[in-house]
Amino acid sequence: MAEIVSLAEAVERAIHDGDAVAMEGFTHLIPFAAGHEVIRQRRRDLTLIRMTPDLIYDQLIGAGCARRLIFSWGGNPGVGSLHRFRDAVEHGWPTALEIEEHSHAGMANRYVAGASGLPFAVLRGYNGTGLETLSTGHGTAPTIKPITCPFTGETLTAVAAIQPDVAVIHAQRADRSGNVQFWGIAGVQKEAVLASQRSVVTVEEIVESLDPRPGAVVLPGWTVSYVAHVPGGAHPSYALGYSVRDNDYYVAWDAIGRDRDAFSRWLEQHVYAVGAGQL
Partner 1 sequence: MTSQVSMNSAEPGELTYTADEMMTVAAARALRDGMTCFVGIGLPSAAANLARAIHAPGLVLIYESGTIGAKPAELPLSIGDGILAETADAVVSVPEIFNYWLQPGRIDVGFLSAAQIDKFGNINTTVIGGDYGNPRVRLPGAGGAPEIAASCREVIVVVRQSTRSFVERVDFVTSVGHGHGGDSRTKLGLKTKGPTRLITDLALWEPDPVTKEMTVVSIHPGVTRAQIQENTGWSVKFAARVAETPAPTSNELEVLHELHARTNRAHSEAA
Binding site for partner 1 (CB under 8 A): 26-28, 51-52, 71-75, 77-79, 81-82, 85-86, 89-90, 101-105, 108-109, 111-112, 123-131, 134, 138, 154-155, 184-188, 190-191, 215, 217, 238, 240, 244-248, 250
CB of 272 to partner 1, least distance (A): 27
Name the minimum Å distance from CB 203 to partner 1: 18
- Smaller CB distance to partner 1: residue 141 or 244? 244
**Residue with smaller CB distance to partner 1, 41 or 81:** 81
Between CA 44 and CA 64 the distance in angstroms is 7
**Rounded-to-integer distance, Cα 158 and Cα 126, Å:** 10
DSSP state letters, 210-237? PPP-TT-EEE-GGG-SEEEE-TTTTTTS
CA 85/CA 101 separation, integer angstroms: 13
Minimum CB–partner distance for residue 190 and partner 1 (Å): 7
- Output the CA angle 195-143-81, nearest 5 degrees: 85
Residue whose CB is less far from partner 1, 72 or 181: 72
What span, in angstroms and rounded, lies between the C-alpha atoms of 188 and 197? 16
Give min distance, CB of 188 to partner 1, in A.
4
Q: Name the minimum Å distance from CB 74 to partner 1.
A: 5
Nearer to partner 1, 62 or 187 (CB): 187
Q: Which is nearer to partner 1, 7 or 144 (CB)?
A: 144
CB of 41 to partner 1, least distance (A): 28
Q: Which amino acid appears at position 182 of this protein?
A: F
Largest interatomic CA distance in the chain: 60
Cβ atoms within 10 Å of 79's Cβ, excluding its own: 15
Cβ proximity to partner 1, 17 vs 136, nearer residue: 136
Round to the nearest angstrom and report the end-to-end CA distance of the chain. 27
Q: How many Cα atoms within 13 Å fall on the side-chain side of residue 244? A: 2
Looking at the Cβ atoms of 8 and 240, the one nearer to partner 1 is 240
CB of 256 to partner 1, least distance (A): 17
Close Cβ partners of 234 (under 8 Å, ≥ 6 residues apart): 25, 28, 29, 30, 31, 32, 33, 170, 202, 243
